[in-house]
Amino acid sequence: MPFFYQQNINETTYFAIWAIQEPLSYFEEEMKLLVDIQNEDRKLQHLAARWLLKLMRPEIALESIEIADNGKPCLPGAPFHFSLSHCKGFAACAISETGPIGVDIEMIHDRISKVAHKFLSVEEKQLVTDITADALLKQLAFYWAAKEAMYKMYEKNGIDFSKHFNVTQLADQDQGLVTAEITHQDLDKKVQLQYLFNSDFVCVVCFE
Same domain for 192 and 129:
yes
- Output the pLDDT for position 68: 81
Same domain for 161 and 70:
no
Last residue of a domain, one of 100, 125, 141: 100
Q: Which CATH number covers residue 18?
A: 3.90.470.20
Query: How many domains would you assign to the chain?
Result: 2
Q: How far apart are CA 25 and CA 18, in angstroms?
A: 17
pTM: 0.95
- Output the pLDDT for position 158: 86
Q: Which domain holds residue 174?
A: 104-207
Last residue of a domain, one of 52, 78, 100: 100
Same domain for 137 and 89:
no
What tens-digit pLDDT sequence spans the chain (208 residues)? 567 899 999 999 999 999 999 999 999 998 888 788 999 999 999 999 999 999 999 999 999 999 887 778 999 899 999 999 999 999 999 999 999 999 999 999 999 999 999 999 999 999 999 899 999 999 999 999 999 999 999 978 889 999 999 998 999 999 999 999 999 988 899 999 999 999 999 999 999 9
Same domain for 17 and 70:
yes
Same domain for 113 and 63:
no
Alpha carbon 196 to its chain centroid, in Å, reads: 11
- Output the pLDDT for position 1: 54
Q: Give the chain as a 3 state SS string.
A: CCCCEEEECCCCEEEEEEECCCCHHHHHHHHCCCCCCCCHHHHHHHHHHHHHHHHHCCCCCHHHCEECCCCCEECCCCCCEEEEEEECCEEEEEEECCCCEEEEEEECCHHHHHCHHHCCCHHHHHHCCCCCHHHHHHHHHHHHHHHHHHHHHHCCCCCCHHHHEEECCCCCCCEEEEEEEEEECCEEEEEEEEEEECCCEEEEEEEC
Same domain for 200 and 108:
yes
Same domain for 194 and 127:
yes
Provide the residue type at 23 as one letter.
Answer: P
Same domain for 142 and 96:
no
- Output the pLDDT for position 157: 81
Same domain for 108 and 191:
yes
Same domain for 56 and 28:
yes
> How many CA atoms lie less than 13 Å away from 13 in the CB half-sphere?
17
Size (the chain), residues: 208
Same domain for 200 and 113:
yes
Last residue of a domain, one of 73, 100, 127: 100
- Output the pLDDT for position 36: 86
Same domain for 116 and 88:
no
